[in-house]
């Protein structure tokens, strides 16, 4: 099983989450907007985290 770097997923989750939460500051339905932001951030982190893990493979020294 391949080892994936969790830091890639964490970074690509927090950045879109913060940006979308800052973007929805003036909306009426804050709960729906927060849930949508979390779902979008999970999707973005999955896509970009996987891409960076594939492109920049972990080179372990043996």
Residue-wise DSSP of the chain: -----HHHHHHHHHHHHHHHHHHTTT-S-HHHHHHHHHHHHHHHHHHHHHHHHHHS------
- Domain assignment present for residue 1? The answer is no
Helices 30-55, 6-23: crossing angle, 10 deg rounding:
150
- Domain assignment present for residue 60? The answer is no
Which one has a higher pLDDT value, 45 or 57?
A: 45
- Domain assignment present for residue 21? The answer is yes
Residue 55 has pLDDT above 50, yes or no: yes
- Domain assignment present for residue 61? The answer is no
Quick one: pLDDT at residue 1? 37
Q: How confident is the model at residue 61 (pLDDT cuts 50, 70, 90)?
A: very low
* Domains identified in the chain, total number: 1
Which range marks the domain in which residue 25 is found? 6-55
pLDDT in tens, 10-50: 888 888 888 877 777 666 677 777 888 888 888 888 888 88
Q: How confident is the model at residue 3 (pLDDT cuts 50, 70, 90)?
A: low
The set of residues, in sequence order, having a beta carbon less than 8 Å from that of 5 and lying 6+ positions away, is 52, 53, 58
- Domain assignment present for residue 62? The answer is no
């Amino acid at each position: 099983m391949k080892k994936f770097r969790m830091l890639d997923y964490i970074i690509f989750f927090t950045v879109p989450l913060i940006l979308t939460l800052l973007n929805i500051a003036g909306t009426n339905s804050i709960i729906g907007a927060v849930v949508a932001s979390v779902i979008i951030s999970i999707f973005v982190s999955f896509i970009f985290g996987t891409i960076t893990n594939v492109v920049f493979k972990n080179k372990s020294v043996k």
